[in-house]
Amino acid sequence: MPEGASAPAVPAVIGDSEFDRDTAVTRRAPGVYDIDLSAGWTIISAVNGGYLLAVLGRALADTLPHPDPFTITAHYLTASHPGPAVVRTETVRTGRTLSTGQASLYQYDDHGNEVERIRVLASYGDLADLPDDVRTTAAPPAIPPLERCFGAEDGPAPVEGSSAIADRLMLRLDPSTLGWALGAPSGKGEMRAWFGLADGRDADPLSLLLAVDALPPTAFEIGLKGWVPTVELTVHVRHRPAPGPLRISITTRNLAGGFLEEDAEVWDSEDRLVAQSRQLARVRLG
Amino acid sequence: MPEGASAPAVPAVIGDSEFDRDTAVTRRAPGVYDIDLSAGWTIISAVNGGYLLAVLGRALADTLPHPDPFTITAHYLTASHPGPAVVRTETVRTGRTLSTGQASLYQYDDHGNEVERIRVLASYGDLADLPDDVRTTAAPPAIPPLERCFGAEDGPAPVEGSSAIADRLMLRLDPSTLGWALGAPSGKGEMRAWFGLADGRDADPLSLLLAVDALPPTAFEIGLKGWVPTVELTVHVRHRPAPGPLRISITTRNLAGGFLEEDAEVWDSEDRLVAQSRQLARVRLG
């Protein structure tokens, strides 16, 4: 493994890891969950959108009779900050194989009033119940082996300021999507990386919600600088991921009018397309 | 133009057309809209999901301070039927350039109780305010000219029963995605067509919501038969469409576990990628 990137001697496990502790919600009442949003999943000062989606996803998993998000959409309304938050969930419909729910995350203004940060609409099912019929025609991304990819520790910090999330992740970028970090963006809206959690915890359906929003923006490779805030993010979780690192490939093909889309595919160690997502994000042009 | 497919002598216009009349909602009170869902947009006996999304989209456009759906997600909970329905909308947040809203469509059970059919979460903006900076790298689909494509009137009805929606649309399928109608599906998850409204009305942002769900299922070309119900549909409307027919290209790459995704791209006559959508749908295997 690359120097400085050794897996911990005893890897964390699903249920007992940084990700689980930092996305844990405490049920105060039916449909009401408290959490202290961690400062450990920020990029510069912004709390990562995928981490936030995983928090909401965990609350919904507790509320609904089905455990796994099959399709989950979030609209990001106002910027979240580390600190106290409350998630309020609603059961929209329960069915035999699918249930639908809604959830909102709120934080508090200076007067203690709740301000909505994110609203989510999602349908859940049980991935374990799906037939094992796979006719996927998509193919895993062409990404070099992990040891030939590069992480933050391999070079100077490409962005100023705190990127606490970098310490939570094992992220190794494809060198062909790293030009931005060396002042030479490729001009192509692509980003590819190997992805895992720094404490060694394997992926699960909830951590896939983090994974799809954990890579640097494709905008950087297009040559744009600055923040690319997510307006909306929709994730389809299609299969429980196998243990081991994930490969994530993100593509942007429609940068226009001050917006762009990022399409992410997440592949597991068994070459399964375990999640697909699309987000609509705002860019600063020029 | 193909025989039997002449445009009307006086084309309908945006605001005065079958589509506008059949998606019109009557505001009964703030956030409460009534409609009689038309039987004219059914495929077999199911009311088309894109038509339903356009109805909800129109109600939200009335509720919110911004006119155009930028990103809109619908979860289809129970099957809708022609007849009375009510749409209830909620403003989630209003901003300078974007507003977010939520909407639900209900119909009535035998006791007159409201049963939720669809729930929607959407962010709206004003397409006219977007800068004209276009860096789209996607390319329009390779589809033969309209006169070399084929519509329902060119062959025997491929599906039994009423398909009233066929009379509302000008739909001309790419012959290379028509094998299913001739008993020889290609095996590839693709569907391509020229699309317009039968009465000649040009496309607008709301009719794009119909367009992305108006083609036959890619599942037919994969060789599957039967209904492919939509669980969730998310549409990004990225530009006001130019007048004239649209080209729609739909792709499925991840048929697995009894579900598939359909990715649709909608291109206008000026070669702009005016809308992108992804839906998650259930398939019957075997």
Q: Where are the domains of chain B?
A: 18-125, 146-282
Please write the tens of the pLDDT for every residue from A177-197: 999 999 999 999 999 999 999
DSSP B96: S
Spell out which residues of chain B touch residue A133, defining contact as CB-CB under 8 Å: 256-258, 285
A254–B238 CB contact, under 8 Å: yes
Structure tokens at A40: 């450990």
pLDDT, averaged across chain A? 94
Spell out which residues of chain A touch residue B278, defining contact as CB-CB under 8 Å: 234, 236, 276, 278
B77–A92 CB contact, under 8 Å: yes
User: If you average pLDDT over residues B199-222, what whole number do you get?
Assistant: 97
| ipTM greater than cut 0.90 | yes
Angle, vertex CA B3, rays to CA B182 and CA B40, nearest 5:
75
User: If you average pLDDT over residues B77-88, what whole number do you get?
Assistant: 97
Tallying the residues shown for chain A, one arrives at: 286
**From B102, B254, B258, residue closest to A138, measured CB to CB:** B254
Per the CB < 8 A criterion, the answer to whether A132 and B259 are in contact is no
pLDDT-based confidence at residue A140 (cuts at 50, 70, 90)? very high
pLDDT in the model for residue B3 = 43
Which among A171, A187, A57 is positioned nearest to A120, based on CA atoms? A57
Residue B32 CA to its chain's centroid (Å): 23
Residue type, A92: V
B273–A285 CB contact, under 8 Å: no
Spell out which residues of chain A touch residue B257, defining contact as CB-CB under 8 Å: 127, 130-134, 238-239
CATH number of the B146-282 domain: 2.40.160.210
Least confident of A100-109, A156-165, B130-139, B246-255: A156-165
Least confident of A122-126, A235-239, B178-182, B270-274: B178-182
CATH number 2.40.160.210 is the correct assignment for the domain at B18-125: yes
Spell out which residues of chain B touch residue A140, defining contact as CB-CB under 8 Å: none
**From B234, B253, B255, residue closest to A234, measured CB to CB:** B234
Chain A: residue nearest B273 by CA?
A: A254
* Rounded distance between C-alpha atoms, residue B178 and residue B162, angstroms: 20
- Return phi, psi of residue B214, to 5°: -100, -10
Strand partners, A229: none
A93–B100 CB contact, under 8 Å: no
Least confident of B124-138, B141-155, B192-206, B267-281: B141-155
R_g (Cα) of chain B, nearest Å: 18
- Return phi, psi of residue B186, to 5°: -70, -25
Helix (H, G, I), strand (E, B) or coil at B175: helix
pLDDT-based confidence at residue A4 (cuts at 50, 70, 90)? very low
Strand partners, B273: B267
Cβ neighbours of B59 (radius 10 Å): 28
pLDDT in the model for residue B284 = 81
Same CATH fold, A146-282 and A18-125? yes
pLDDT in the model for residue A2 = 45
Chain B: residue nearest A137 by CA?
A: B253
B131–A102 CB contact, under 8 Å: no
User: If you average pLDDT over residues B161-187, what whole number do you get?
Assistant: 92
pLDDT-based confidence at residue A284 (cuts at 50, 70, 90)? confident
Please write the tens of the pLDDT for every residue from B220-261: 999 998 889 999 999 999 999 999 999 999 999 999 999 999
Chain B: residue nearest A95 by CA?
A: B77
